Structure 1
Amino acid sequence: MTSTSTRRELWRERIADLWANTWRWVLAAFGAVTATYFILERGVVGGATFAVVVGALVIAAVLTTSTPLAIALFAMPGLLISQRIGLGGGDLSVSDAALAAAFGTALLLGHRPYSKPLRQLLLINLVYQFATLFTVVVNPYALNTIEWFHAWILVSGALIVGWALGAAGHARLALSLIVFTTCAFAMLTVVEAAFQYAVGNFGPATPSWPFSMHKNFIGTVLAFGAIIAYLNPDWVGWTKGWARFAFGLMAAGIVVAQSRQALIGLAAAIVVAVLRRSTTGRSRLVLLLLIPAAWLVISMVVDQIESQNRHNSVFQRVEWLREVYHFWRESPIFGHGLRYWYNPGELPYQPPQAELEVLASAGVVGLIGFLVMWIGVLVALWHVDPRFGTLAVAVLLSRFVQSQFDLFWVAVQVSVPFVVAGICLGAMDHERSTKEGPDELVTRVPLGRRVPFSAGVGWRR
């Protein structure tokens, strides 16, 4: 009788092991087929980027046995790729797909419970989600509902992904992957500028490989990497020489890309570093670097105004802002719906300014929720331990400042700073738990009774 029970248990264990590995083989086969599809559909050049991304995610899935958050780590470079996948006629980007894969992994395998600062940020984001729910109800179309969930993933989902990586002790690796990728983008941008300058073209330099990048996209992404390298928190552990090189390379990339909002956003982050100089070690003299940056931005704007070219970015933005304002007045309370510019007959472009975009999309109600979200997030992070909170505040403030002069709800440019903020909070919790040591073992007790799980820390039911 005993031997029969033992054999049954052995068979159950074998079946369980087989099933535990089956999903990896299925995912590997799916990844191979998908990569082949992209190469056949778009050619070697056009499909190579997607094939590499899919292959990386498949490798990460296989590695989850030894490194549970391998998929989330492998997704970090993918977060910086804005290229559209276009599966089934959709508008999904590589960044969205990478974030979705990382988010699923973080939910299933991430550390629990969440820290108090992270819970605060998630609740603050819910204020904005609740405010925009009205426009989803008032303007019933599919893309409106999809974008409502998408916006939540870009903020709360990104925070949870960053938190999971930081709390698991992967903060340095995750930030390194982001910075290494932005350094590669910066190198491509500088090389492109060198070729342009050699033939007398002194316009904005933007890479066209491995995918085409707009100057404001590349500038914003490089600003994120430059901020991380510039602050170089002590818990990351990079050498000063490497951090300075990375910062200089990405600052050069921003300059040759001629992205004005990226320069302004980077300046805002430097101001945060100076305000927290007791933690960052940055002297007030660093503010002198803002003088040439301000001169460069002002001179470019003045040149465009003096040119009287009605189609340059300055005059075009003024015209867009005027059109969006009149469009908003047609539905001032709840707006026209998220991503309304894809609907036939509506204003056919995304407003190039954050508050005006939210105002036209979600009305006054949505704008109030948007401002509450941003003010609440920055205030909450400002009260976090400066060793961890300074980087989070700097990168998010930089993004908010950038968005005053360009599009806001763009996948890469929203998700990356919130992932970085989540990494900071997770790293703080990881350091705290490491210093405190593992909790004492707790025996089962009747419901309602309390036993100590760590002396002087708290109680567990």
Structure 2
Amino acid sequence: MLSRRSRRKPDPAHGGFSPGFAPSGRTSTVVYHVTMGAAKLIRERWRAASVVVGIAAVFVGIAIGVLSVRTGELALVVAAAVLLAAVAARDLTVLPVLAVPATLVLTRVGGALSVSDIVLALAAVVSLLMLRGRGAVVLQPLIWAGVFYLGTALPTQILNRYSANAVEWAHEVFLVLGSMIVGFVIGRENRARVTMTIYLLACCGIALAASVVAIGSLLRTGVFQPAYLPGLQKNTTGGMLAIAAVIAFARPVWLRWSAGWAMTAVIVTSVGILAAQSRQGLIGGVVGILIVSLRARPQTGKRIKIVWLAAIPAVVYVLSQVTAQFASDNQFNSAHQRVDWYEQSMQIWLKSPVFGVGMRWWYTDRFSTHFESFQPPNAELEVLTTTGVFGMIGFLTMFAVAGWYLWKMDPMYGTVGFAVVATRFTQAQFDLYWVAGQASLLWIVAGICYGVQARDRARDARGSPGLAPARGSGRLA
């Protein structure tokens, strides 16, 4: 071994080698030529790749131009897909991250698919490529629960052969299994904080917009009317904001949100729900927040009990509104309309009680002579009519298994996931369940919980430092 005196630093004058250890002139010449040859080869390949990319860009531009003339919406989708692919080439986690705020974009693009569906599909494919079997075994209970439901929905595919039925089954594969995998990758790749922060900021923006619309309507008409935003129905708005409020109220440690920011978001989104006058969103949000309050916060070790008192006015408001609608002579208000749809749903279900009449039957004219074309405004009735008792067993089992495993998790991870799943399930008792975006978000959040837990366990195994305190909180947040 060389002594300290004999250890010499590289000398630039000798080509980066220590004096006495510099290669001979012939060796230096060989190294020089090899290096220059490699550099030349890289430059040539770079030029060739640039030409290919340039030609491809020209053809993509021409294709988008042609599509914009014939089908403007499809051109927009293609352009967005190209942009996302380019961004994902730099960082694959971009697509899974964008899939969460994309659940708020329900604009239809060519038929039954929405923007959120397309982004989710791309994110699911990327997430599958990123899994590579690293720790994904912990997600198996949720995956098998989803597979079980989708398996029980297969008989209706065989008995009711039409395109909308098959398309919806494939759609639900992404809404359930794809969402779980996307969420897991987000959590494991340490993208949960940025993802949920973007989602919460977007929901706060929607809440503020709904509040402005409601106040403007009140000033013009003197009546407090529901706020309808472009492309969003009031119950859709309420459902989005309710889940955002539950996540903000839960404020899991691994999101590292300060208490002030989280509580501000809870207030803003709650006001947005009131502006939308979404009774389903309000009840779902109350249920989710009460579930969170049942467990002590990791940050303080205490339960927040005052929310139980705050929930009373919300319940009283909803009951008074529903009672007033049933007492009204208007047979077309939402309460009377739902009762009518419940009755029609039961009659349609009885036509095939075991296996159902097929998914998206309301997209067809099979029952148009005796019934309206409507999507049942209740999760169980929709599943009964589409997949029958067989599918209902799978559907309820999926929720039961997911709820059981999320509740059994360390509360630091599982509480927010269980609360979000319960929030969405509660909302779906009074409104549509299989809605693009909203039917995927709960499973994305559940997957995030498992992904973050897997990340932290791997970090602990390596002996890496834990979570850092959030600014302004004084505690882990």
What TM-score bracket applies, with the shorter chain setting the length? 0.7 to 0.9
How has the CA–CA distance of structure 1 residues 14 and 370 changed in structure 2, closer, same or farther, with 3 Å as cutoff? farther
Quick check: 1:50–1:85 contact (8 Å CA) kept in 2? no
Give the TM-score normalised by structure 1.
0.84
Name which of 88, 109, 124 aligns with 1:85: 109
Q: Does 1:207 align with 2:240?
A: no
How has the CA–CA distance of structure 1 residues 155 and 10 changed in structure 2, closer, same or farther, with 3 Å as cutoff? farther
Q: Please provide the CA RMSD for this pair.
A: 3.1
How many pairs are equivalent? 425
Quick check: 2:103–2:438 contact (8 Å CA) kept in 1? no
Query: Which residue is equivalent to 2:156?
Result: 135
Distance 1:108 1:145 in 2: 25
Q: Does 1:406 align with 2:431?
A: yes
Q: Does 1:234 align with 2:253?
A: yes
User: Which ranges in structure 1 are unaligned for 5 or more consecutive residues?
Assistant: 440-461
Range moving further from structure 2, 115-124 or 159-168: 115-124
Amino acid at match of 2:400: I
Query: Which residue is equivalent to 1:430?
Result: 455
Give the C-alpha shift of residue 75 in structure 1.
3.2
Report Cα offsets for 1:273-324 as digits up to 9, x if no partner.
1221254743222211110100110111111112121100111111110111
Query: Which residue is equivalent to 2:475?
Result: none
Amino acid at match of 1:292: P
Name which of 430, 445, 450 aligns with 1:420: 445
Amino acid at match of 1:334: F
Range moving further from structure 2, 276-285 or 330-339: 276-285
Name which of 172, 178, 186 aligns with 1:157: 178
Q: Does 1:389 align with 2:414?
A: yes
Q: Does 1:266 align with 2:285?
A: yes
Range moving further from structure 2, 197-206 or 355-364: 197-206
Name which of 333, 337, 340 aligns with 2:361: 340
Decide which structure has the larger Cα Rg and report it. Answer: 2
Distance 1:350 1:175 in 2: 30
Distance 2:64 2:103 in 1: 19
Query: Which residue is equivalent to 1:459?
Result: none
How has the CA–CA distance of structure 1 residues 338 and 198 changed in structure 2, closer, same or farther, with 3 Å as cutoff? same
How has the CA–CA distance of structure 1 residues 96 and 28 changed in structure 2, closer, same or farther, with 3 Å as cutoff? farther
Alignment of 1:297-376 (within 5 A): 297-346=318-367, 347=371, 348-376=373-401
Distance 2:406 2:53 in 1: 39
Query: Which residue is equivalent to 1:252?
Result: 271
User: Which ranges in structure 2 are unaligned for 5 or more consecutive residues?
Assistant: 1-32, 465-477
Identity of aligned residues (%): 35
Alignment of 1:169-248 (within 5 A): 169-199=190-220, 200-208=222-230, 212-248=231-267
How has the CA–CA distance of structure 1 residues 25 and 137 changed in structure 2, closer, same or farther, with 3 Å as cutoff? farther
Distance 2:311 2:272 in 1: 16
Give the C-alpha shift of residue 349 in structure 1.
1.1
Distance 1:250 1:32 in 2: 43
Name which of 282, 293, 298 aligns with 2:314: 293
Give the C-alpha shift of residue 343 in structure 1.
1.2
How has the CA–CA distance of structure 1 residues 206 and 360 changed in structure 2, closer, same or farther, with 3 Å as cutoff? same
Give the C-alpha shift of residue 104 in structure 1.
1.4
Quick check: 1:261–1:406 contact (8 Å CA) kept in 2? yes
Query: Which residue is equivalent to 1:70?
Result: 94
How has the CA–CA distance of structure 1 residues 158 and 25 changed in structure 2, closer, same or farther, with 3 Å as cutoff? farther
